[in-house]
Amino acid sequence: MFNIILFGPPGSGKGTQSEKLIAAYGLVHLSTGDILRREIAQATELGLEAKKLMDNGQLVPDAVVVGMIKSALENNPQAKGFLFDGFPRTEAQSVSLDALLAEKNTEIGVVLALEVSNEELTKRLLNRGLTSGRSDDTNESIIKNRIVEYQTKTTVVANYYSKFDKVVNIKGEGSVEEIFSALCSEIDKRLSN
């Protein structure tokens, strides 16, 4: 099994690159943001609670997302590997993920961290907000909250995995194809070892 965390701030291209990576490597894509938006669309109790926080650009509680990931891992017993997108986002989530993977006798192979300037992130998200229907994309002050949440709560995830020498920084600006090929070359290096 080879498991990847695709890491980076809001709008850094995690979703865009995930689609290409799962197709190339046959991984199961686990995006907590996508799972939460499905819960909102189905108007579940969890979705309605999460929506209030997401609409403000704030993180939902660790226990909620860890529970979602735990079920997703259990529902995919045959997976060749998982691609985590938008998870983990706090140190507590990282510790929980490592424990869940250890129960399956596996671990994170690499953390690929996309680096994009705040100006570019804001530009991309406002632009997507014109058509995405995502309430957290429409207003610059909510986008700013998302970036602040990332800086104050999520950057520690990279520090955490750096201790295990698992983090590789990738320039997240440029064409989608260029970035994809940089990601693939890091994955291929590790798969051939």
- Token readout for 15 is 């979703």
* CB of 10 closer than 8 Å to CB of 66: no
Taking the complex as a whole, how short is the minimal distance between the CB of residue 153 and ligand AP5, in angstroms? 9
* Residue 7-46 contact track with Mg ion, rule CB under 5 A, x = bound: -------xx-------------------------------
Comparing C-alpha atoms, which of 160, 185, 189 is closest to residue 171?
Answer: 185
Report the chain's terminal Cα–Cα distance, integer Å.
13
By CB under 6 A, tell whether 13 contacts ligand AP5: yes
Q: From the list 39, 51, 72, 124, which residue makes contact with ligand AP5 (rule: CB under 6 A)?
A: 124
User: Per-residue contact track with ligand AP5, 79 to 98, x per CB under 6 A?
Assistant: -------xx-x---x-----
H-assigned helices in the chain: 14-25, 32-41, 45-55, 62-74, 91-103, 118-129, 140-149, 155-162, 176-191
CA–CA separation, 41 vs 111, rounded Å? 30
Site string for ligand AP5, 125-144 (x = CB under 6 A): ---x-------x--------
The item of ligand AP5, Mg ion, none sharing an interface with residue 36, based on CB under 5 to 8 Å by kind, is ligand AP5
CB 133 within 8 A of CB 46: no
Footprint of ligand AP5 on residues 26-85 (CB under 6 A)? Answer: 32-33, 36, 53-54, 57-60, 65
Question: Residues in the site for ligand AP5, rule: CB under 6 A?
Answer: 8, 10-16, 32-33, 36, 53-54, 57-60, 65, 86-87, 89, 93, 124, 128, 136, 146, 176, 179
